[in-house]
Amino acid sequence: MHHFNYKNDVLHCEDVPIPEIAAAVGTPFYCYSAATLRRHFQVFDGAFSLPHLTCFAVKACSNIAILRLFARLGGGMDIVSGGELYRALAAGVPAERIVYSGVGKTRRELHEALEAGILQFNVESAQELETLAQEARALGVRAPVALRVNPNVDPKTHAYISTGLAKNKFGIPEEEALELYRRAAEMEHIRVQGVSCHIGSQLTQLSPFVEALDKMVAFVERLRQAGINVSWLDLGGGLGITYDQEEPPPPADYAEALARGLAGLDCRLILEPGRVIVGNAGILVCSTLYTKRGGKHFIIVDAAMNDLARPSLYDAFHCVQAVKGPERRRVRADLVGPICETGDFLARDQDLPDLAPGELVAVMSAGAYGFSMASNYNSRPRAAEVLVDGARFAVIRKRETYEDLVRGETIPDFLAQS
Ligand SMILES: *Cc1c(COP(=O)(O)O)cnc(C)c1O
């Protein structure tokens, strides 16, 4: 479900025609629908009747306006860096609704999160636990901790976004985790409060979630037998969306499957959805520059892999639509950007609308891991981000300028003389 629809053959986001935004802000730009974001958050959050906190995975879509929108709906945040902590706090998210995951939290980042007073650190190694305890001691506080357990479950998704297999860098194997919990429980500046896991992203089946849940529930029971009581169970994110033909389970089925596995456990849940909330709530709009029809057909647009990395990085599929006149001849072609890499494509060997130079194009389902993965490669200023709400729209991130590109760069004295 999303609010990107054609009215009189012109693509709209809610009540705003996409060409109107393009005329005001130029291309390329990301366009998000506030109604879609709200609905997705509420459907997901509302699917759980157990006590829980829905912590949006900031890395999926990090703009502070969007974080604020979720915070206003009662959402927390799942962060993976000091920069994301800064964003969440800047967006007005209460610290007691923030959980912090990731294998490589620096001492400084741990310190900042302790100072902010976040809800939970999902600790991924014995060394990290030790560093966290030292920083907590220095601040005279107790750090609220869950260990991230690696349940060794195959999420059946792309290898780069599988995180819950023993061969992945994430989490701690169960046996080791049990030992580490014993140690953590003895540490003066650590407060053991939960268990966490996150097995991967873009999952389209329930079975891996259920398999991981069963292992986590058994693990919580083992902990309790060892006299370590935990009250939070963080099950991570990972629920997939439809980009093409995928048929992921709806949030209601996901919630029901989890509730069944959790019956009688007496833990509050933390959920960390990212993609399922924002993926289909955002599109990337660009302009056609040129077409090449010698042998293979190429449509060259003003957005590129630096704007949307997913096709190049994961060979991911995005549906491509003409902003005006959706019913038209289709051609087998590649949609490519101006970057000097053969891997620079937004769609490859796809049946695309037969676009002419100057026409606007929408790359659909680009709300998750779109702008948040954008770079300045080829010295391309990053695109603008626009949020639509009903008949209104606002630029929530200005298009970068050439000055932005060289900000922070200096020519040292020894090169300054000619
Ligand atoms: C990336 C990530 C998520 C969100 O994953 P989605 O597939 O976008 O739902 C949640 N938790 C952790 C720890 C992550 O690294």
d(CA 234, CA 99): 9
Q: What is the pTM of this model?
A: 0.97
- Could you report the per-residue pLDDT of 231-248, keeping only the tens digit for each? 999 999 999 999 999 999
Whether the predicted pLDDT of 364 surpasses 90: yes
Q: Tokens in use for 271?
A: 């959920």
Q: Which atom of ligand 1 approaches the CA of 368 most closely? A: 8
Atom number, ligand 1, closest to the C-alpha of residue 200: 7
What domains, with CATH codes, occur in the chain?
Answer: 4-31+279-406 (2.40.37.10), 102-271 (3.20.20.10)
Give, for ligand 1, the residue of 196, 272, 365, 369 to mutate: max count of ligand atoms closer than 8 Å to Cβ.
Answer: 272
End-to-end Cα, the chain, rounded Å:
60
Compute the distance from residue 5 Cα to the ligand 1 centre, in Å: 28
| Strand 29-33, strand 330-336: pairing | unpaired
191-210 per-position pLDDT tens digit: 999 999 999 999 999 999 99
Q: How far is the CA of 102 from the centre of ligand 1 (A)?
A: 10
Per-residue burial over 108-144, b = 16 or more CB atoms within 10 Å of its CB, e = otherwise: ebbbbbbebebbbbbbbbbebbebbbebbeeeeebbb
Residue % of the chain over a pLDDT of 90: 93
Which residues' Cβ are closer than 6 Å to ligand 1?
57, 59-60, 78, 80, 101, 198, 201, 236-238, 272-276, 368
Reading the block at residue 166, the tokens are: 């023993």
Give yes or no: 197 in active site. Answer: no
Q: Quick one: average pLDDT of 131-143? A: 98
Q: What are the tokens at 280?
A: 């289909």
